[in-house]
Amino acid sequence: MTSRGMTMKLPRRKFLHLAAVAVSLPTASRYVWAQAYPTRPVRIIVGFPGGIAPDIVARVTGQALSERLGRQFVIENRPGAGSNIGAEIVVRAPSDGYTLLLVVSSSAINATLYSNLSFNFIRDIAPVAMIGLTPFVMVVNPKLPTKSVPEFIAYAKANPDKINMASQGNGLASHLMGELFKMLAGVNLVHVPYSGSYAADLLAGQVQVAFSPIPTVIEYIRDARLRPLAVTGATRVEVLPEVPAISEFLSGYDATGWNGIGAPRGTPSAIIEKLNKEINAIVLDPATKARLISLGVEPLSMTPAEFGKRIADDTEKWAKVIKFANITAE
């Protein structure tokens, strides 16, 4: 090889090396940035008012993340439009990991319930981690003369249109679980939607039955101010071991809520993986696990891909119920 050829090839080799370094720098810097994350407070947007199940779960998770990562995870309640206001805030937020969403099963429902959303939940929210399943519980005011699901069904059939069924809002999980019960049991309950908590009216007897997240009503059950008839999942739950599942009386009934964390689309995978690892550790931590179970949440760890599949599967499931019952958003 001539000296002229060598002088031509050496600069090329140097150029290729420098080009490779240049390409790797953004990836390396993103990795280092993700390793340092978080360097400032992180917001977790909750699309519901304070004091109800999603808010309680978000605060338990946020406190644990603050302790593990050394930065404050601030819960910000932005209720409205069936949690869509909160979701849209996160969809429009920078994809930097500093604005997260408390994702609930209602998010999968809303994809069908609302036809005019400015975002596509599955496309625009990146799944980060599951926190846990939230079986609901069918509770009645103790003044109602029914102590079991069969008794309730018999009473409802003998007293059509006289039982008021409360929900957290039209088309939310608490409503759809009641609609599923109505369809399978062949009863007619008068739906009374609330824009938030219905606990006061249920305790007073102005509404008689609700399909409620266990965390919302667990204390009322413990002090006998509400009577649990059955849980909505396929099996009994640890926090209410004596309460049967609706499926023990109505074959095929299985309706479980869930809670998790999502982030804006485009959030760096390294940040998502770091949050997933930390949240999975949180739900397996004995103290936090016991706290979640005491609230009626069954801790469950998933990869981001597994959580994404759960969201997609539930979106398809509830779309069928919404269309069958002809439910529309108010």
- In tens, the pLDDT along 59-77 reads 999 999 999 999 999 999 9
174-183, 204-213, 286-295 — most confident range: 204-213
Longest dimension (CA), the chain: 102
- Percentage of the chain exceeding pLDDT 90: 65
More confident residue, 226 or 320: 226
Residue 52 DSSP symbol: S
Instruction: Report the pLDDT value the prediction gives residue 279, as an integer from 0 to 100.
Output: 98
The 10s digit of each residue's pLDDT in 18-34 is 555 555 555 445 556 56
Bridge partners of 134, per DSSP, are 257
Lowest mean pLDDT across 12-26, 32-46, 146-160:
12-26
pLDDT average, residue stretch 256-281? 96
pLDDT at position 329 over 90: no
How many percent of the chain have pLDDT more than 70? 89
CA distance readout (Å), 225 to 57, 139, 240, 284: 23, 10, 15, 32
Query: What is the distance, to the nearest Å, from the Cα of residue 252 to the centroid of all Cα atoms in its chain?
Result: 23
Strand ranges in 179-296 using DSSP code E only, listed in sequence order = 190-193, 209-213, 227-231, 256-264
Q: What is the pLDDT of residue 23?
A: 54
Q: How confident is the model at residue 7 (pLDDT cuts 50, 70, 90)?
A: very low
pTM of structure: 0.75
Confidence label for 222 from pLDDT (cuts 50, 70 and 90): very high
- pLDDT greater than 60 at residue 2: no
Q: What integer is the mean pLDDT of 186-202?
A: 92
Average pLDDT, the chain: 89
Q: What is the pLDDT of residue 320?
A: 84
> Mean per-residue pLDDT for 255-267?
95
- Ranked by mean pLDDT, which of 82-96, 288-302, 312-326 comes out on top? 82-96
Average pLDDT of the residues in 275-294:
93
Residue 271 or residue 173, greater confidence: 271
What is the rounded (10 degree) CA torsion for 303, 304, 310, 311?
160
- Higher-confidence residue: 169 or 136? 136
- Of 293 and 2, the structure prediction assigns the larger pLDDT to 293
Query: CA angle, 244 as apex, 321 and 310 as ends, to 5°?
Result: 40
**DSSP states along 250-264:** STT---EEEEEEEEE
Tell whether the model's pLDDT for residue 96 goes beyond 60.
Answer: yes
Would you state the pLDDT for residue 31? 55
| Whether pLDDT at 119 is above 90 | yes
Please, which residues bridge with residue 100 across strands?
Answer: 44
pLDDT tens digit string along 74-94?
999 999 887 899 999 999 999
Buried b (16+ CB within 10 A) or exposed e, 56-80: bbbbbbbbbbbeeeeeebebebbbe
Residue 6 pLDDT exceeds 50? no
**Residue 256 or residue 267, greater confidence:** 267
Query: How many whole angstroms separate alpha carbon 181 and alpha carbon 263?
Result: 33
Per-residue pLDDT band for 5 (boundaries 50, 70, 90) equals: very low
DSSP letter string over 75-129? EEE---GGGHHHHHHHHTS-SSSSEEEEEETHHHHHHHH-TT-SS-HHHHEEEEE
All structural domains of the chain, each given as residue ranges with its CATH number in brackets, are 39-134+257-325 (3.40.190.150), 135-248 (3.40.190.10)
